[in-house]
Amino acid sequence: MNQPKLNLSPKVSDEVRKTTCYMCACRCGINVHLKEGKVAYIEGNRDHPVNKGVLCAKGSAGIMQHNAPARLRAPLKRVGPRGSGEFEEISWDEAYQIAADWLGPIRESNPEKLAFFTGRDQSQSFTSLWAQAFGTPNYAAHGGFCSVNMAAAGIYTMGGAFWEFGQPDWDHTKLFMLFGVAEDHDSNPIKMGIGKIKGRGARVIGVNPIRTGYNAVADDWVGITPGTDGLFILSMIHCLMKAGKIDLHYLAQYTDAPVLVNNDEKSPEFGLYLRDEDGKQLVMDRVTKKLTPYDQPGVKPDLSATYRAKGVTHRPVFHKMAEMYLSEDYAPEAVAERCGLPANRIRAIASELARVAFEEAFELEHKWTDFRGETHDTMIGRPVSFHAMRGISAHANGFQTCRALHVLQIILGTVEVPGGFRFKPPYPKPATAHPKPHVGMTPGGPLNGPHLGFVHGPDDLALKQDGTPARIDKAFTWENPMSSHGLMHMVISNAHAGDPYKIDTLFMYMANMSWNSSMNTGGVMQMLTDKDENDNYVIRHIIYSDAYSSEMVAYADLILPDTTYLERHDCISLLDRPICEADAAADAIRWPVVEPDRNVKGFQSALCDLGAKLGLPGFVNEDGSQKYADYADYITNHERRPGIGPLAGWRMGANGLQHGRGGPNEGQLDSYIRNGGFFAEHIPDGANYYKPWNRAYQDWAVKLGLYDSPQPYLFSLYVEPMRKFQLAAEGHGDRQPPEHLRERIKATMSPLPIWYETDQQGNEGFTINALTQRPMAMYHSWGSQNAWLRQLHGHNPLYLPTKLMRQHGLSDGDWVRVSSPHGEITVPVMEMASLNENTVWTWNAIGKRKGAWALDKDAPEATKGFLLNHLIHELLPPKADGMRWANSDPITGQAAWFDLKVRIEKSEAPREARPEYPPLKSPVPQAPENLAWKVGK
């Protein structure tokens, strides 16, 4: 044979620089290979706690994002009308001067006139600090339309949430059930985990109307009717309780199931916990038969005994649960039709949960001591785990549904135990250990505390003296009392309406509000361009920061161009959303593995400059000079409290470098770079399960600086703050809800999880559920500018189940008019059999506006791609009461975009998908036609 001689050991690259991916929110470690100083190849970092070497399609395509023709090149000042895309490039000095001329005066007179909202921001602990220093109460990130129901329900119930804040115990779980998860937090860890447990033969159950991705590989698929997951879960709770397949020991020891609740309907404390003088929850001790604080050493809390004093009977939470969930209203037969599932299927799944949790229980040989001082020789494991995300949370009943799922986990005794669901530091952390919302303004001064937090009753609402909302998004008001992440989706419509008040400047970061990040996209474009009687824009000034030529750029007056993720400093901080694992606390950095070749600046560095120019406290030194030269300087030198900074690794102690607590270390970022861009500190064996109640974990967390004192707590099957809002609605207390909200608060704020049908008024004739999912290879709007990724998802058909295809006489490639009570789109269809028979869906954020993202005007993203957003309004249809109610969860304000109902009709093929919008003028040059990308020889 005459084979060519190959060089089998070519040089791979000149240098590898290790940083953190930003192609989605997963924050994997990446090895960036450089040749001749340019980015040549990106792979996963094997040492990294998140991805352990693997990398998804987005991550590997980072080179195309870094070099995307859509990158902005310099600060921009709008010169044409808003929405036209006409800009001129200006200097940073001029950009800062324009911003300071708008922001300086409002800070001195009325700081609430600034609304500062960030989108896919990974620096919220920094951007919120800036907003706090400015003094405006109007700050939040995008959690309100993302998945606040999931976060808030988790934290109120068990001091931690799914999202990326916890994970199944992949090494021990034998049954993994996931609800409403497409490509979601976490991205790679879920894929790695599913691969791992399937390799062991564990069973995966996927609950999702759509059988793609994780649901496609699930052993059992439950194609539930959207919005009914809560009913399905409560029915399984019914089955398990009725059969006694519940972990009574766990419920008694670690939850509020035995905590006594006032049972006197006439009492102003009806439904509240019985507490001692120190505010501690009280239980009956089975041994002493006495009222005892829950945390007393040796207490055996009774799930059954009642307590009567001063004519008032107190019953344990568990009594209330039995009363509620043993009701035949939750029997499988009673819920089956609404859920679209056979009753026997519900029973079969509940049985399997019971079988695995109790028949396959096991013990790990880890000795541990609980918060009451009792030492246990082993850790009991229940190998059933769950994960859930937006599919259950983006409904107007999503908070209660997420709560129901946590209650299911807890009665099975499978949270924070081997084989179950585990928290990642800084969780567990109960709602009471988080801040409350702050809205105290002083013109010219900082806000009186952090913006966002957890309310514990009407007194914590963010209301002005006259009872009107203090925040522009109406977060923490009677309309949505527990809106822990704010309501970014309501900011533009409220600001446009001047309700609750007018603002002057809208300042946004990485949030594509004039396109895929808003409900009612067309309406938002109108609101952003509307003028008042004086020919001024209703929203007077808009400042926007983005790295790319997104649709939102065209709707701003001033653009601060951000860098790509390979050109910037960042910290993925324990003060924010860190990269921890269940077995380790960890944080990470980004650093400029290459320098920008354009006149752009990391947004956080720009905020350091702008903060100094405005003289914001914390951003200037005593002499008025700029405090932080850039974001790297802040990351290194800022201290949130003494000894606690943005990064926990390599801090300066009395005797040299140490982790967790310590002073600033000028070489800290270099230490991170030497360590591959991250820091990880492992939780000792014996401290790594039962964390909320485990002394060894609590002490470790204090030592590391996660909290300043041990914070053991009971899981809240019963959320007492919700009962406090109900009590107010029933007429108790000084702070009273407006009359029109009274009944809704009583009905929805049940302290034990309930299910209710979401508001269907106006939906008559619209009977088909319409959903979106994120493709695994794309993240929000970012993927379409990526030459490699857009070849995977260049346009998005509307997937229809076989039954609807037949019913409407449709074939693949035909077009349909899809209408909702709010709007209409005309789009191409494709048949999909593995789909709930009354649900249609599409990939989200593939559709693009012409002229954006440096795509040609005939790009399929713009001609055939589409958004369902046009069909979803931020308000529900008008009602007989003359009011427009928010299309949001009444508890948290979570945008209810999965409540969408539509009807479809076959349509002639239009020239392009409808609605059509005129092209934007691109602020960046035309993209190259062909790519033959090779760096170096």
Partner 1 sequence: MTTLPDNTEKKLGLVIDLDTCVGCHACVISCKGWNTENYGAPLSDQDAYGGNPSGTFLNRVHSYEVQPEEGHAQLIHFPKSCLHCEDAPCVTVCPTGASYKRVEDGIVLVNESDCIGCGLCAWACPYGAREMDMEEKVMKKCTLCVDRIYNENLPEVDRIPSCVRTCPAGARHFGDLGDPDSDVSQLVAERGGVDLMPEQGTRPVNKYLPPRPKDTMPEIDVLAPFLEPVVQEPGGFLGWLDKALEKL
Instruction: List the interface residues with partner 1, window 266-305 (CB under 8 A).
Output: 286, 302-304
Q: Based on the shown chain and the rule CB under 8 A, indicate whether residue 930 belongs to the binding site for partner 1.
A: yes
SS (H, E, C) 508-520: EECCCCCCCCCCC
Q: Based on the shown chain and the rule CB under 8 A, indicate whether residue 863 belongs to the binding site for partner 1.
A: yes
Q: Which residue has tokens 């944080």?
A: 587
The nearer residue to partner 1, 635 or 862, going by C-beta atoms, is: 862
Considering only residues 232 through 261, tell me which ones interact with partner 1, judged by CB under 8 A.
239-245, 248-249, 252
The nearer residue to partner 1, 339 or 462, going by C-beta atoms, is: 339
The nearer residue to partner 1, 342 or 878, going by C-beta atoms, is: 342
Q: Based on the shown chain and the rule CB under 8 A, indicate whether residue 216 belongs to the binding site for partner 1.
A: yes
CA angle 39, 40, 41 (to 5 degrees): 110
To partner 1, the closest distance from the beta carbon of 241 in angstroms equals 8
Give the Å distances, CA to CA, from 147 to 75, 237, 296, 509.
32, 24, 37, 19
- Supply 52's token pair: 């352990």
CA angle 252, 433, 732 (to 5 degrees): 80
Tell which one of 14, 47, 69, 434 touches partner 1 (CB under 8 A): 69
Q: Based on the shown chain and the rule CB under 8 A, indicate whether residue 152 belongs to the binding site for partner 1.
A: no
Q: Based on the shown chain and the rule CB under 8 A, indicate whether residue 379 belongs to the binding site for partner 1.
A: no
x/- letters, 183..202, toward partner 1 (CB under 8 A): x---xx--xx-xxx-xx---
Burial class of residue 531 (count of CB atoms within 10 Å of its CB; 0-12, 13-18, 19+): exposed
The nearer residue to partner 1, 388 or 835, going by C-beta atoms, is: 835
Q: Based on the shown chain and the rule CB under 8 A, indicate whether residue 594 belongs to the binding site for partner 1.
A: no
CA–chain centroid gap for 624, Å, is: 37
Q: Based on the shown chain and the rule CB under 8 A, indicate whether residue 629 belongs to the binding site for partner 1.
A: no
* CA 631/CA 615 separation, integer angstroms: 17
Tell which one of 15, 101, 219, 764 touches partner 1 (CB under 8 A): 219
To partner 1, the closest distance from the beta carbon of 253 in angstroms equals 10
Strand segments, DSSP code E, in 109-148 are 114-118, 139-140
Tell which one of 120, 347, 403, 661 touches partner 1 (CB under 8 A): 347
Determine the residue type at 918. Answer: P
x/- letters, 781..800, toward partner 1 (CB under 8 A): ----x-xxxxxx-x------
The nearer residue to partner 1, 128 or 836, going by C-beta atoms, is: 836
Q: Based on the shown chain and the rule CB under 8 A, indicate whether residue 226 belongs to the binding site for partner 1.
A: no
* CA 263/CA 303 separation, integer angstroms: 15
Q: Based on the shown chain and the rule CB under 8 A, indicate whether residue 768 belongs to the binding site for partner 1.
A: no
The stretch among 48-56, 428-436, 521-529, 747-755 that binds partner 1 (CB under 8 A) is 48-56
* CA 294/CA 717 separation, integer angstroms: 15
CB of 894 closer than 8 Å to CB of 486: no
Which residues, 6 or more positions from 15, have their beta carbon under 8 angstroms from its beta carbon? 33, 34
The nearer residue to partner 1, 68 or 503, going by C-beta atoms, is: 68
To partner 1, the closest distance from the beta carbon of 893 in angstroms equals 32
To partner 1, the closest distance from the beta carbon of 833 in angstroms equals 3
Nearest to 441 by CA among 233, 212, 131, 732: 131
Considering only residues 156 through 185, tell me which ones interact with partner 1, judged by CB under 8 A.
183
* Eight-state DSSP code of residue 435: P
H or E element that contains 34 = strand 29-35
The stretch among 71-79, 209-217, 649-657, 884-892 that binds partner 1 (CB under 8 A) is 209-217
The nearer residue to partner 1, 144 or 860, going by C-beta atoms, is: 860
To partner 1, the closest distance from the beta carbon of 250 in angstroms equals 10
The stretch among 57-65, 116-124, 664-672, 868-876 that binds partner 1 (CB under 8 A) is 57-65
Give the Å distances, CA to CA, from 103 to 30, 365, 492, 623.
38, 60, 18, 22
The stretch among 119-127, 262-270, 349-357, 473-481 that binds partner 1 (CB under 8 A) is 349-357
Nearest to 424 by CA among 45, 162, 708: 162
Strand segments, DSSP code E, in 105-244 are 114-118, 139-140, 166-168, 175-179, 203-207, 220-222
Q: Based on the shown chain and the rule CB under 8 A, indicate whether residue 830 belongs to the binding site for partner 1.
A: no
To partner 1, the closest distance from the beta carbon of 525 in angstroms equals 24
Q: Based on the shown chain and the rule CB under 8 A, indicate whether residue 625 belongs to the binding site for partner 1.
A: no
Nearest to 689 by CA among 400, 316, 416, 931: 416
The stretch among 392-400, 438-446, 830-838, 911-919 that binds partner 1 (CB under 8 A) is 830-838
Prior bond to 443 cis, omega within 30? no
Q: Based on the shown chain and the rule CB under 8 A, indicate whether residue 376 belongs to the binding site for partner 1.
A: no
The nearer residue to partner 1, 3 or 625, going by C-beta atoms, is: 3
The stretch among 44-52, 523-531, 550-558, 655-663 that binds partner 1 (CB under 8 A) is 44-52
* CA 240/CA 242 separation, integer angstroms: 5
